[in-house]
Structure 1
Amino acid sequence: MTPSQPSQAKYLREDDISQKCRDLLPSLPHEKGWISPSLYQYQGLWVAPKLLNGILACQEHFRAQETDVLLITAPKSGTTWLKAILFCLPNRAKYSGSMQQHPLLTQSPHDLVPFLELKLYFGQEIPNLTSLPPPRLFATHLPYQSLPQSVKDSGCKLVYLCRNPKDTFVSLWHFANKLRSKTTSGIPLAECLDAFCRGVSPFGPYWDHVQGYYKASLEMPERVQFLRYEDMIEDPQVHVKRLADFLGCPFGEQELRDGTVDGIVRMCSFDSMSMLEVNKSGKLSTGQETESYFRKGEVGDWVNYMSVEMGERVDRVVQEKMDGSGLKL
């Protein structure tokens, strides 16, 4: 490690990977990365070598249980926000009388609902998850076709959150440049836009990611809940109640009267979460700073960074790629 990179984050390293991953890389198509030096195409998705290492380990070793809940998103689609909500719902009785001691006040949502490939299987050691009490809450950015087979074979619940592609792109571009700024210069927006429209983005193509879970939600509505970020922002109380119903922990009449739903919405709001010390100065196991996950969260923020022509280009590509799916974004 060079003097100019004394604390290079783990996700940027391409040397700390398993032999299985190292042997696979030369056979895969690759492109310039957004955050890491390179992105490689594996099972139709684009991913950095260190994350591919985590994906391979997750696919081989993760054993889903019937009571598991997986939160799934494309990167920068509201993951942190929904992780917080997802943690609150099945655990609300445990902390209802002691909100001052609620884990969300002192722990990152990314620790409470950990990523499979980005945290649990990110290192060389395979975790033992069998002792975790149900329901086990996990997250992943994996597209449907790349989920571990045990997830598809089990009866576990999948909660998918999608976001407008233009806002997703702008948020991902900001996120990439914030992480890159620790070691190298940023990438121009136009360069990232070209890659995004070719499908070359972390865990992309975006349209394949969204369509895979939309199709699964139509085929297995009892197992797959498909949510839109913009709908949740517009009416969070309604969607929090629907999510609780889907998870099998519906709100009781007393909870509806005493404001439990509003309390969860307030606690998990962008304003509340971004002001907590753990989300301003903490670090994740991958070396990323938690404040990197809190920027704006605004609907329609893309207009402040992209020209009308850029926005129309994204719309054309997404419309073409999703034609016939029945899904409108």
Structure 2
Amino acid sequence: MSNLDAQGHEWRSGLRFPWPQPPANGAVQQVAEGLLWLRMPLPFGLDHINLYLLRHGQGWVAVDTGLNNAQTREVWEGLFDTALGGLPLVAVICTHFHSDHVGVLGWLSDRFRCPVFMSASEYQAMHQLGTQSDVSSSWAFREHYQRAGFSTEQTEALFPLLGSAHFRPQVPTSFRRLSEGSQLTIGGRRWQVRIGRGHSPEHACLYCAEDGLLISGDQVLPRITSSVCVQVTEPDADPLRDWLDSVECLRSVPDSVLVLPAHERPFFNLHQRLDQLRDHHQEHLQRLLDACTAPRSAVQLMAVLFPTVKGRFDELMAIGETLAHVNYLIAQGHLVREETAGVFRYGRTPEGVTAQSVLGQL
């Protein structure tokens, strides 16, 4: 449900949206003095990413870059002499390593010979993503998804998707490190780095206390939820624990900030959204527990959480999210894992038995 207030702001699901419509793909919208919101197209169901441009002296600082494809580079080329007024990029900040955020990072950095700012864990993960060998030769990849309950044919069908150039960013040679509490002064504004985890290893949000602005990247989104996934690189990880902890840490940012997310529209009422995100995952956890009256594979549990998965990419995200919730419940002692014929199955912890974390289990 939505309605408009006296200022013409839209209210939807407890959040307030000051702009009724986003800018067109490839266009910009000023959200504050010296701060532009750029809508960059994506060739997916989620058809855009929000980038932000911060004026700094005789140049601009870009926050995130878009995907590594010809369309992204074409949009940037058009912006250099229009929205940017012929002024150069003097730095690029990346919130995290995912391909829609860092796709043309190396291209932009090389073109303007400007530094890159991101956290150390995200820089390392980006390099791994950009230089990893063909996953089709990886026994660990096959084992991970077959243990989840995928057939050999389903696993093989993932290879063309993961081999796409879209998911291989252009990586820069060097970076400047961002850490929790790092301070950046850009165009007279002071931005403090707030680190979130779970969606990615060390996601950097940017908070300007004086002007009440939070560039949240993917850590807080207004309608959709950030993916929290277990990947083949760390199959026993507990990213949901990291993500829920990060939600609580972000409550120290005032509820009054204007949140500038990487997808959808900027919004107010941060704490309301943090409540919604926490409750969303708690509901998922309860649904899994209710479904585990008998041992079930991750693929069977995926159907409980995501009954209408469309396409291979959505399936990849859905199984990763399912495993994140399963691993959290194991670490909390609510589920146990057993292996049968090469497939992991999950059931409720027997009464009176203390379940161990997945860590260290063989």
TM-score of the aligned structures, taking structure 2 as reference length: 0.28
Instruction: Report the structure number with the largest CA radius of gyration.
Output: 2
Higher normalized strand content (fraction of residues) = 2
Higher percent of residues as helix: 1
Q: TM-score, normalised by structure 1?
A: 0.30
Q: Which has the higher contact order (CA 8 A, sep 6+)?
A: 1
